[in-house]
Copies of this chain bind each other. A is one copy, B any other.
Amino acid sequence: MFLSSYVNGVDKKGRVSVPAAFRSELATHSRAQVVVYAAPDDKYLYAWGYDDFLQFAEKIKKMPAMSPQRQRLARTLLAAARPLGFDDNGRIMLPENFIKHADISGKAIFAGQGDYFTIWQPENYEAKQEADLEHYEDDLAALSGLWEELGG
């Protein structure tokens, strides 16, 4: 499970250390890779462990062969995703287009989201957090609703 968040440096080669805690989580997968793709709706990146992303992909592959919906999902998720391997020091190399998409320069924040994590330009992340606060009460209420439904 990906928990808590970490800020790491991005060097001029585009390399960045994935937090050790996340790395050991990723190591449990059949390939020690992280699959990254640009969030279609905002300036950040999604990052999944290999096996979890594969499950995602399998669902898409099970959709009707050439249906428009399947094709759209394949474009936004499969074609946009990149499996990134680690160098000996636990770094990945963020491709140019990802760095651009997320406005990253110098530093990046890795934010655990449970079964995946996201990568942001730190200032953008802080702004997003601030905005989240306004929904906090409502979101919490929704959560407790769910809680009761599930008999928790």
Contacts and interface: CB of A to CB of B under 8 A. Distances in A.
Contacts of A82: 3-4
A143 B60 contact: yes
Given A129-B76, A136-B76, A71 B147 contact: no
A61 B114 contact: yes
A96 to B, nearest CB: 11
B73 A143 contact: yes
Interface in A1-39: 1-5, 35
Contact of A78 (B62, B75, B112, B146): B112
Interface string A113-143: 1110000000000001100110110011011
A62 B132 contact: no
Most B C-beta atoms less than 10 A away, residue of A112, A146, A152: A112
A79 B113 contact: yes
A105 interface: no
A145 to B, nearest CB: 10
B80 A146 contact: no
